Amino acid sequence: MNSIGKLFCVTSFGESHGPCVGAVVDGCPAGLALTLDDIQQEVDRRKPGAGAAATARRERDKVEVLSGLREGRTTGAPITLLVRNEDIDDSDYEKIAARLRPGHADYTALVKYGGFADGRGGGRFSGRITASFVMAGAVARKILDTLGVAIAAHTVEIGGIAARAATFDDIKTKATRDPLRCADALASRKMGELIAGVREAGDSVGGVIEGIAVGVPAGLGEPVFANLDGDLAKALLAIPAVKGVEFGAGFAAARMKGSENNDPITIKNGKIITTTNNAGGILGGISSGMPVVVRVAVKPTASIAAEQATVDVKKMEKAAIRVEGRHDACIVPRAVPVVEAMMAVVLCDFALRAGLVPRVMK
Amino acid sequence: MNSIGKLFCVTSFGESHGPCVGAVVDGCPAGLALTLDDIQQEVDRRKPGAGAAATARRERDKVEVLSGLREGRTTGAPITLLVRNEDIDDSDYEKIAARLRPGHADYTALVKYGGFADGRGGGRFSGRITASFVMAGAVARKILDTLGVAIAAHTVEIGGIAARAATFDDIKTKATRDPLRCADALASRKMGELIAGVREAGDSVGGVIEGIAVGVPAGLGEPVFANLDGDLAKALLAIPAVKGVEFGAGFAAARMKGSENNDPITIKNGKIITTTNNAGGILGGISSGMPVVVRVAVKPTASIAAEQATVDVKKMEKAAIRVEGRHDACIVPRAVPVVEAMMAVVLCDFALRAGLVPRVMK
Amino acid sequence: MNSIGKLFCVTSFGESHGPCVGAVVDGCPAGLALTLDDIQQEVDRRKPGAGAAATARRERDKVEVLSGLREGRTTGAPITLLVRNEDIDDSDYEKIAARLRPGHADYTALVKYGGFADGRGGGRFSGRITASFVMAGAVARKILDTLGVAIAAHTVEIGGIAARAATFDDIKTKATRDPLRCADALASRKMGELIAGVREAGDSVGGVIEGIAVGVPAGLGEPVFANLDGDLAKALLAIPAVKGVEFGAGFAAARMKGSENNDPITIKNGKIITTTNNAGGILGGISSGMPVVVRVAVKPTASIAAEQATVDVKKMEKAAIRVEGRHDACIVPRAVPVVEAMMAVVLCDFALRAGLVPRVMK
Amino acid sequence: MNSIGKLFCVTSFGESHGPCVGAVVDGCPAGLALTLDDIQQEVDRRKPGAGAAATARRERDKVEVLSGLREGRTTGAPITLLVRNEDIDDSDYEKIAARLRPGHADYTALVKYGGFADGRGGGRFSGRITASFVMAGAVARKILDTLGVAIAAHTVEIGGIAARAATFDDIKTKATRDPLRCADALASRKMGELIAGVREAGDSVGGVIEGIAVGVPAGLGEPVFANLDGDLAKALLAIPAVKGVEFGAGFAAARMKGSENNDPITIKNGKIITTTNNAGGILGGISSGMPVVVRVAVKPTASIAAEQATVDVKKMEKAAIRVEGRHDACIVPRAVPVVEAMMAVVLCDFALRAGLVPRVMK
Cα C274 from Cα C267, distance rounded (Å): 8
- The answer to whether the CB of A24 falls within 8 A of the CB of A78 is yes
User: Dihedrals φ, ψ of D152, to 5°?
Assistant: -145, 140
Residues of chain C positioned with their CB less than 8 A from the CB of A357: 355
Position D194 scores a pLDDT of: 98
The burial class, CB within 10 Å (0-12 / 13-18 / 19+), for B298 is: buried
Asked whether the beta carbons of residue D30 and residue A116 sit closer than 8 angstroms, the reply is: yes
Position A51 scores a pLDDT of: 46
Residues of chain D positioned with their CB less than 8 A from the CB of B68: none
Position B326 scores a pLDDT of: 73
Distance from CA of D299 to the nearest CA of B (A): 36
Identify from D24, D234, D269 which residue to disrupt to test chain C contact, counting C C-beta atoms within 10 A and taking the largest count.
D234
Asked whether the beta carbons of residue A76 and residue D124 sit closer than 8 angstroms, the reply is: yes
Distance from CA of A58 to the nearest CA of D (A): 21
Name the helix (H) or strand (E) containing D270: none
Q: Is the pLDDT of residue A324 over 60?
A: yes
Position C325 scores a pLDDT of: 76
Identify from D34, D64, D67 which residue to disrupt to test chain A contact, counting A C-beta atoms within 10 A and taking the largest count.
D67
Residues of chain C positioned with their CB less than 8 A from the CB of D4: 225
Residues of chain C positioned with their CB less than 8 A from the CB of D318: 266-267
Q: Is the pLDDT of residue C93 over 70?
A: no
Position C49 scores a pLDDT of: 59
Distance from CA of B100 to the nearest CA of A (A): 8
User: Dihedrals φ, ψ of D26, to 5°?
Assistant: -110, 140
- pLDDT, tens only, A26-49: 999 999 999 999 999 999 988 765
Cα D60 from Cα C196, distance rounded (Å): 61
User: How many CB atoms lie under 10 A from the CB of residue A316?
Assistant: 10
Give the residue among B92, B101, B136 at the shortest CA–CA distance from B2: B136
Task: Indicate the average pLDDT of chain A.
Answer: 93
Asked whether the beta carbons of residue B116 and residue C18 sit closer than 8 angstroms, the reply is: no
Asked whether the beta carbons of residue C7 and residue A353 sit closer than 8 angstroms, the reply is: yes
Cα B282 from Cα B228, distance rounded (Å): 7
**Percent residues over pLDDT 70 in chain C:** 94
User: Dihedrals φ, ψ of C178, to 5°?
Assistant: -75, 140
**Percent residues over pLDDT 70 in chain D:** 94
3-class DSSP string for D77-107: CCEEEEEECCCCCCHHHHHHCCECCCCCCHH
Pick from A149-163, D56-70, D241-255, D345-359: least confident:
D56-70
- The answer to whether the CB of C16 falls within 8 A of the CB of C131 is no
Q: Which residues contact A116 (CB under 8 A, 6 or more apart)?
A: D30, D31, D70, D73, D74, D75, D76, D360, D361
- pLDDT, tens only, D9-48: 999 999 999 999 999 999 999 999 999 999 999 999 887 6
Distance from CA of C64 to the nearest CA of A (A): 24
- The answer to whether the CB of D99 falls within 8 A of the CB of D321 is yes
What does the pLDDT average to over C164-179?
95
Confidence of residue A50 (pLDDT cuts 50, 70, 90): very low
- The answer to whether the CB of D199 falls within 8 A of the CB of D191 is no
What does the pLDDT average to over C262-285?
97
- Chains in contact with B, where contact means 3 or more Cβ–Cβ distances below 8 Å, are A, C, D
Q: Which among D13, D113, D118 is the nearest to A80, CB-wise? A: D13
* CA distances, A74 to each of A34, A88, A170, A171, D106 (Å): 7, 32, 32, 30, 17
- pLDDT, tens only, D187-232: 999 999 999 999 999 999 999 999 999 999 999 999 999 999 999 9
Position C48 scores a pLDDT of: 66
Cα A195 from Cα A210, distance rounded (Å): 19
Position D90 scores a pLDDT of: 67
Asked whether the beta carbons of residue A15 and residue D112 sit closer than 8 angstroms, the reply is: no
DSSP C73-111: EE-SSPEEEEEE--S---HHHHHHTTBPPTTSSHHHHHH
Which domains does chain B possess? Answer: 3-353 (3.60.150.10)
Distance from CA of B343 to the nearest CA of C (A): 21
- pLDDT, tens only, D78-135: 999 999 998 776 665 665 678 999 999 999 999 999 999 998 888 999 999 999 999 9
User: How many CB atoms lie under 10 A from the CB of residue D20?
Assistant: 19
pLDDT digit of tens for each residue in chain B (362 aa)? 999 999 999 999 999 999 999 999 999 999 999 999 999 999 998 876 544 444 545 558 999 999 999 999 999 999 999 999 987 766 656 656 789 999 999 999 999 999 999 988 889 999 999 999 999 999 999 999 999 999 999 999 999 999 999 999 999 999 999 999 999 999 999 999 999 999 999 999 999 999 999 999 999 999 999 999 999 999 999 999 999 999 999 999 999 999 999 999 999 999 999 999 999 999 999 999 999 999 999 999 999 999 999 999 999 999 999 998 778 999 999 999 999 999 999 999 999 999 999 888 87
Residues of chain A positioned with their CB less than 8 A from the CB of D359: 112
Position C326 scores a pLDDT of: 73
Angle, alpha carbons B172-B176-B179 (nearest 5°):
155
User: How many CB atoms lie under 10 A from the CB of residue D273?
Assistant: 18
User: How many CB atoms lie under 10 A from the CB of residue D291?
Assistant: 18
Residues of chain B positioned with their CB less than 8 A from the CB of D352: 355
Position A95 scores a pLDDT of: 58
Residues of chain B positioned with their CB less than 8 A from the CB of C93: none
Position B91 scores a pLDDT of: 63
The SS3 of residue C199 is: helix
Give the residue among A203, A207, A212, A196 at the shortest CA–CA distance from A149: A212
Confidence of residue D50 (pLDDT cuts 50, 70, 90): very low
Give the residue among D120, D133, C354, D2 at the shortest CA–CA distance from A25: D2
Identify from A67, A287, A359 which residue to disrupt to test chain C contact, counting C C-beta atoms within 10 A and taking the largest count.
A359
Q: Which among D3, D20, D113 is the nearest to A66, CB-wise? A: D20
Q: Is the pLDDT of residue A258 over 50?
A: yes
Distance from CA of D71 to the nearest CA of C (A): 32
What DSSP state is assigned to residue C31?
T
Our measurement of the distance from residue C316's CA atom to the centroid of its chain's CA atoms, rounded to an integer in Å, reads 36
Position D52 scores a pLDDT of: 42
* CA distances, C97 to each of C122, C142, C321, D16, D288 (Å): 11, 41, 11, 55, 18
- pLDDT, tens only, A338-354: 999 999 999 999 999 99
Cα C80 from Cα C86, distance rounded (Å): 19
Cα A98 from Cα A91, distance rounded (Å): 14
Position A91 scores a pLDDT of: 63
Distance from CA of C167 to the nearest CA of B (A): 38
Numbered residues of chain D with Cβ closer than 8 Å to any chain B Cβ? 6-7, 219, 352-359
The burial class, CB within 10 Å (0-12 / 13-18 / 19+), for B189 is: middle
Residues of chain B positioned with their CB less than 8 A from the CB of C114: 30-31, 360
Interface contacts A/D by beta carbons within 8 Å: 159
- The answer to whether the CB of D257 falls within 8 A of the CB of D173 is no
* CA distances, B116 to each of B88, C20, C28, C68 (Å): 20, 28, 12, 10
